[in-house]
Amino acid sequence: MGKRILLIEDEPNIVEAISFLLNRDGWEVSTHSNGKGATEAIARVKPDVLVLDVMLPGRSGFDILQELRANPETAGLPVLMLTARGQTKDREMAERLGATRFMTKPFSNTQVLECIQELAGNSS
C-alpha cells in the first residue's frame, strides 16, 4: 500500500488537520497551497494519493484534475477532491473529469482517513 500523499489545499486549518491525521496513520504528507505550480508539485512528490481542493488561488482543482487525467503518467493517480461547494454540478464535474472520490467540507476525520486508505488500497 502506498503511503505518500500530496495535499493541495489553501485553508491552513484543513491542511493542519488532515496532515496530523495522516501523519499519525503513517503517511508521508507533502502539501501545496496554490493552484499555480500544483502539477509541478505532483511531479516532484509522485504521491500515491492526491487530495485536491476545488477552489484554489491561481488555478481551480478541476483544471488541475483535467491536466492530470490527460497525462499518461498521472492518469491513474487516485484523487480525492474536496470542496466547500457541494452542489450536484460540482460533483458531476468532478466525476466527468475523472476524480476518484468527491467529498464536501466539513467532513469527519474518520471519513477522510477511510477514503484515503481505500484509495491507497485501490492504487496498489
**Could you report the per-residue pLDDT of 92-104, keeping only the tens digit for each?**
999 999 999 999 9
Model-level pTM greater than 0.75?
Answer: yes
Q: How many CA atoms lie within 13 A of 102 on its CB side?
A: 21
Instruction: Provide the 8-state DSSP code for 49.
Output: E
pLDDT class of 2 with cuts at 50, 70, 90: low
CA 9 – CA 52 distance, rounded (Å): 6
Instruction: Give the chain's domain count.
Output: 1
Range of the domain at 94: 4-123
Q: What is the CATH number of the domain that holds 42?
A: 3.40.50.2300
